[in-house]
Amino acid sequence: MTKTVKNTRQDHRDDMSRITASRDGWGFAWQLAKREMSGSLGRFRVFLGALLLGVAAIGTVGSVAESMRSGINDNARILLGGDIEISSLHTAPSPDIIEAASNFGTVSEVVQMRAMLQAGDRRKLVELKAVDSNWPLVGTAATAPSMPLAAALDQTGIVADDALLRSLGLKPGDRARLGNLDVEVRAALTIEPDRSISFVSFGPRVLISDKTLAATGLQQPGSFITYRYRLLLDNPDDRDAAMATLNQLTEPTHARVREVAKAAPGFDRFINQAEIFLVLVGLTALLIGGLGVAGAVRAWLASRMPVIATLKCLGAPSILIFRIYLLQIFVVAACGVAAGLAVAAIAPLFAIHILSSYVTVPLAKTIYPVPLMIAAGFGLGTAFLFAVWPLAKAEEVRAGDLFRSLIEMPDGWPKPRYLLMMIIAAIGLTGLAYLATHNLGITASFIGGSLAALLLLSVLGNLLVRLLRLAPLPRFVPARLALSNITRPGSPVRSVIIAFGLGLSVLVAVSVSESNLGRQIDNRVAEDAPAWFFIDIQPRQIDMFEQLARSIDGISQITKTPMLRGRVSKINDIPTAAITPPEGSAWILRGDRALTWSATAPKGSEIVAGDWWPSDYNGPPLVSMSKDAADDFGLTIGDTVSINVLGREITATIANLREVDWQSFQINFVFVLNPGVLDAAPHSWIATTHADNDAAADAVERAVTSSFSNISAVSVKEAVATAQRVIGLLGGAVRLTALVTLIAGIAVLAGTVASSESQRLADSVILKVLGATRLSIGLAWFLEYAFLGLLTAIAAAFIGSLASWALVDGFLGAEFILDGWLVFGTTLAGAVATAVLGLAGAMKTLGRKPAPLLREL
Amino acid sequence: MASSSKAANDPAVIDLDAAHLTLGTAAANVKILKGINLQIGAGETVGVLGPSGAGKTSLLMVMAGLETLTKGRISLAGTNITNMQEDPLAALRRDMVGIVFQAFRLIPSLTALQNVSIPLELAGRADAETIAAAALRSVGLGHRMTHLPDQMSGGEQQRVAIARAIAPKPRILLADEPTGNLDSATGEKVVNILFKSAQEAGAALVLVTHDASLAARCSRVLEIEDGLIAGDTKQ
């Protein structure tokens, strides 16, 4: 026996000598991870779903935006209509500018304005575009029936949008009235290469020749006419020289020059803003999905506790445990991310199909790797961020607990190195968010806001549970079981309230805000809105116009004001190019602004600083400015604003500030000057008419447009419909956020239900042994999720209403009315969804027979 | 009264000196071991008997380096492990201690061979699978190597657990109620294998049990009561 022992020791020493090194590296961790992982992917459904949703959303948005941007870039010359464009309002740029341009290549003239097209007794406001024989310099226009453009526009020919022709009952060969001229419809316009990309338009397109425009008599002094001269360079290398020459020539005038890089500045801005918004939607999904990831990882690790403890008993160091499970999490995350990327690669094809009616350039059906890589980074980063905590706690599991079958996930904070990893991951994700949105302010405030909302939901959840604990338990057994399940330590109530509550809060906020805005527009339309805005009224026509309008029965109120447009060129002598405008008032510097003059303060406006000038004031130019705009630019009484009007720069001193109610349907201006400054410039008048009834409204429009062929009538009803449509689009986009966050919330709810499945199974078996029927157990569970839904609904109603109030009252400055029924309805739907989904998930354990399970317990 | 014994000529592989263990609960601290002095030599087989809650399993966990003493000292094969950190302890366990649990504690997703290989692979043994296969054959499971735990009977699973414990040729073999989940015939078979394996490995075997007849098969029997050694009998 002694010999045997000695031999064995010798063997042992020999064996030990063959040990090369302790194997706790990544390679060995991977071997063990692979062995353990097989067949476990199905346990990560929630994890996979949450990552798929977030990655797909971010990847799709990025790909679609990239596709539109490259569509615009690739077709910039077509969109611009040439290499360089010189444009001006009211009057054409001076001939020397056009002549200078023509030295560099071919120039084409396009004139755009609004006008009324009349067919029989039907009239429509249209966007008129008059072109010369060189148009289009780039791209090709097409008509149906197909014919050469020159032939279509020859004599008094017009081509127009098919929808317009149908609405006026016109077909090729029919005649219509445009200004003073009878025109002949030749064809429908099917392709207009330089059509601007926009979601909102005031009227359908009518294309005519420049000669026809001249014959219509519509080009009146002061009318709102845009002149565009497109230059196609003979030699592309001349671009810089041409830009330098034209910039120098136009600088002191009212004309402006732009090149292909800014072919669609408005739409570019729209794409960027939409992308930011939609990326943030994806981030919300990932944020909520992250809770699902953490829950799923925790549940997975909880089920692996005996294995982890066993490995530790067998000598596995902590870091090996961390690596084994981190690798498994990464493999699962990679599957979720890959699935999300697959969706993101395919989805743009459908999105492009939908967008093609708005975007007039061809969009390439290709895969854009950068947005997909960013989306993948988001997915893996989120999975890592939310998995580290449970992973770090798993490595701390006490191996000794194996002896007592009491293995539980340890509580408390993870070790500092893991907290550091989480901080690095969070910084990395913020960096990625910045890469995706290019806007640190919005990204930071979004993430901050989301975290604040999550914190608030968490606090509310805790508060509600504490209150429930204080309440006496009901005598009805299922209700008692339900309540005790919610209030017990470790109940899923907080994660459900956070995850589901965030989506529901957004839904409440959107519904309440939209209802508030919609109601206010409706109320304003009913109370204040005029029936028509009449534009391009010539000074010589204004008295006749007023006389005519007043002669019609039912016209209760007519307001009129002179108007022309000018560009803000300097503020306090600083050129606007050197000013970074505040976000809310950037539009004031972006384009030409409407200007007017008045001897007295405009009706309904409130002077909040300074005084209105005397009615006979005849000194240096003074301006009255809207207070909001002045505040945004930091301007006050005595500061100066320089405005370029038709090439002449007028510098006016701010004499007073007005509170302007932009939501009223009054004619409002940012800038009102004193009389005597602009009166002599070519200008037109704008007027509104209020009608007591629809018949009077129709009568005034008919009378005015048939008496004055150059005056266009803009229907307030249609403008409001357009505004409502835009609000609807915005509401739809925000509702999409709510939907995505709700789906992510459902994933988390499903995960919570799944992770408590074994506990629920054990409970149901014990309850059945004690004599509970399936009905009473099912009822208890239903009540549990109903209570949970109710708590979530209360939290969401509070936070959603608060957010809506902040938006409507604080941000938009409108009156906030809390629609209790709407909040109740929305949150009730959420509560019912929570109860039904939770119960549906839990029910599958109810059908299991107790006997086989009892043997395992 | 704490008692002690020591193999005459061999240094002790397990050496406890005034070992105290107190565990904290939410309600109060509970004194589990109250000053145990114990030396176990190489090749000794020690049965540990005692009522529930006496501290038998805690003593085993202390010997495995899975519980840290509140007071006193413990050495394994001459190495003082009293204040050793978790990872060095894990490495020491890997190289020196084999453990057999009442509930087998096999990793369900791994085959029998993979389960037995794990401690060898953790030690960086290139021949892990060969040794594991030999260990499985030695417990009569050469034909079950590719089976998963849930494809085997309880007795077979416990034999795999014994193979896993003895494969690295540990100096110490700890068994906690190894027959507790088995019928008597299977239990007898498993115990035979356990004793045979410990003998072949030259390991000290410490076996916690409620079964006096099983303890009687050991060369030494310890009786634990209320955290102290109440009896220490050599047979």
Confidence at residue A266, expressed as pLDDT on a 0 to 100 scale: 65
What DSSP character marks residue A409?
-
Interface test with B, best of A314, A318, A855 (most B CBs within 10 A): A314
A783 forms bridges with which residues in the sheet? none
Averaged pLDDT of chain B: 86
In chain A, domain spans: 29-73+265-438, 76-200+226-262, 440-528+720-857, 539-709
Confidence at residue A14, expressed as pLDDT on a 0 to 100 scale: 42
Q: Looking at per-residue confidence, does A817 or A229 come out higher?
A: A229
Confidence at residue A523, expressed as pLDDT on a 0 to 100 scale: 67
> Which of chain B's residues have a Cβ under 8 Å away from the Cβ of A22?
91, 122-124
Phi and psi based region of residue B11 (left: phi greater than 0; alpha: psi -120 to 50; beta: remaining): beta
Whether chain A has a CB inside 8 Å of the CB on B93: the answer is: yes
Task: Determine the structural domain holding residue B177 and report its residue range.
Answer: 44-57+92-234
Q: Which of B42, B122, B131 sits opposite A23 (nearest CB)?
A: B122
CA distance A484 to chain B (A): 21
Residues 306-325 of A with CB under 8 A from B: 306-307, 309-320
Contact flag B107-A310 (C-beta cutoff 8 Å): yes
CA distance A399 to chain B (A): 6
**Low-confidence winner among A560-564, A604-608, A650-654 (lowest mean pLDDT):** A604-608
Q: Please name the residues in contact with A633: beta carbons below 8 A apart, sequence gap of 6 or more.
A: A571, A579, A581, A582, A585, A588
Please give the Cα distance from A360 to A160 (Å, whole number): 16
Give percent of chain A with pLDDT exceeding 90: 18
In chain A, which residue's Cα lies nearest the Cα of B199?
A5
Q: Is residue B80 domain-resident?
A: no
- CB of B63 closer than 8 Å to CB of B83: no
Whether A856 has a pLDDT exceeding 70, the answer reads: no
Residues A301-333: pLDDT tens digits?
Answer: 877 888 888 888 888 888 888 899 999 989 989
> Which of chain A's residues have a Cβ under 8 Å away from the Cβ of B103?
405
Q: Looking at per-residue confidence, does A357 or A389 come out higher?
A: A389
- CB of A712 closer than 8 Å to CB of A116: yes
> Is A651 exposed, middle or buried (CB count within 10 Å of its CB: 0-12, 13-18, 19+)?
middle
Interface test with A, best of B58, B114, B122, B195 (most A CBs within 10 A): B122
- CB of A668 closer than 8 Å to CB of A660: yes
Please give the Cα distance from A619 to A511 (Å, whole number): 52
CATH code, B134? 3.40.50.300
pLDDT classification of A64: cutoffs 50, 70, 90: confident
Whether chain B has a CB inside 8 Å of the CB on A40: the answer is: yes
pLDDT classification of A772: cutoffs 50, 70, 90: low
Q: Is residue B106 domain-resident?
A: yes
Whether A18 has a pLDDT exceeding 60, the answer reads: no
Whether ipTM tops 0.85, in short, is no
Interface test with B, best of A403, A404, A406 (most B CBs within 10 A): A403
Whether A12 has a pLDDT exceeding 50, the answer reads: no
CA distance A37 to chain B (A): 8
Q: Which of B90, B95, B169 sits opposite A317 (nearest CB)?
A: B90
Contact flag B57-A399 (C-beta cutoff 8 Å): no
Residues 5-34 of A with CB under 8 A from B: 5-6, 8-9, 11-12, 15-16, 18-24, 28, 31-32
CA distance B146 to chain A (A): 13
Averaged pLDDT of chain A: 80
* pLDDT lower than 50: segments of chain B: 1-9
* Chain mean position to CA B213: 19
Helices (H), chain B: 56-63, 86-96, 112-122, 128-138, 154-166, 184-201, 212-215
Q: What are phi and psi of A811, to 5 degrees?
A: -80, -45
Whether A737 has a pLDDT exceeding 70, the answer reads: no
- CB of A845 closer than 8 Å to CB of A764: yes
Can you tell me the mean pLDDT for A609-615?
A: 91
A111 forms bridges with which residues in the sheet? A130, A227
| C-alpha separations of A557 from A255, A523, A528, A552, A689 in Å | 37, 18, 11, 11, 6
In chain A, which residue's Cα lies nearest the Cα of B203?
A5
Confidence at residue A208, expressed as pLDDT on a 0 to 100 scale: 94
Residues A425-474: pLDDT tens digits?
Answer: 988 888 888 887 777 777 777 777 777 877 888 888 788 778 888 888 77
Whether chain A has a CB inside 8 Å of the CB on B124: the answer is: yes
Residues A96-150: pLDDT tens digits?
Answer: 999 999 999 999 999 999 888 988 878 888 999 999 999 999 888 999 999 999 9
Specify the 3-state DSSP secondary structure of B198: helix
Q: Is residue B64 domain-resident?
A: no
Contact flag A39-B109 (C-beta cutoff 8 Å): yes
> Which of chain A's residues have a Cβ under 8 Å away from the Cβ of B61?
400, 403
Can you tell me the mean pLDDT for A530-555?
A: 87
Over its C-alpha atoms, chain A yields an Rg (Å, rounded) of 35
Measured CA angle at B57 (ends B56, B58), to 5 deg: 90
Q: Which of B114, B123, B202 sits opposite A8 (nearest CB)?
A: B202
Whether chain B has a CB inside 8 Å of the CB on A272: the answer is: no
Query: Given 3-state DSSP classes, what are the helix, strand and coil percentages for chain B, each rounded to the nearest 5?
Result: 35, 30, 40
CA distance B119 to chain A (A): 5
Residues A779-807: pLDDT tens digits?
Answer: 888 888 888 888 888 888 888 888 888 77
Q: Please name the residues in contact with A732: beta carbons below 8 A apart, sequence gap of 6 or more.
A: none
- At A593, the amino acid letter reads R
Q: Is residue B12 domain-resident?
A: no
Contact flag B57-A403 (C-beta cutoff 8 Å): yes
CA distance B96 to chain A (A): 10
The dihedral through the CA atoms of B136, B140, B142, B148 has a sign that is: negative
Confidence at residue A1, expressed as pLDDT on a 0 to 100 scale: 39
CB-defined contacts A:B, below 8 A: 116
Count how many domains chain B has: 1
Confidence at residue B10, expressed as pLDDT on a 0 to 100 scale: 56
Confidence at residue A217, expressed as pLDDT on a 0 to 100 scale: 87
- CB of A101 closer than 8 Å to CB of A239: no
Can you tell me the mean pLDDT for A31-46?
A: 74
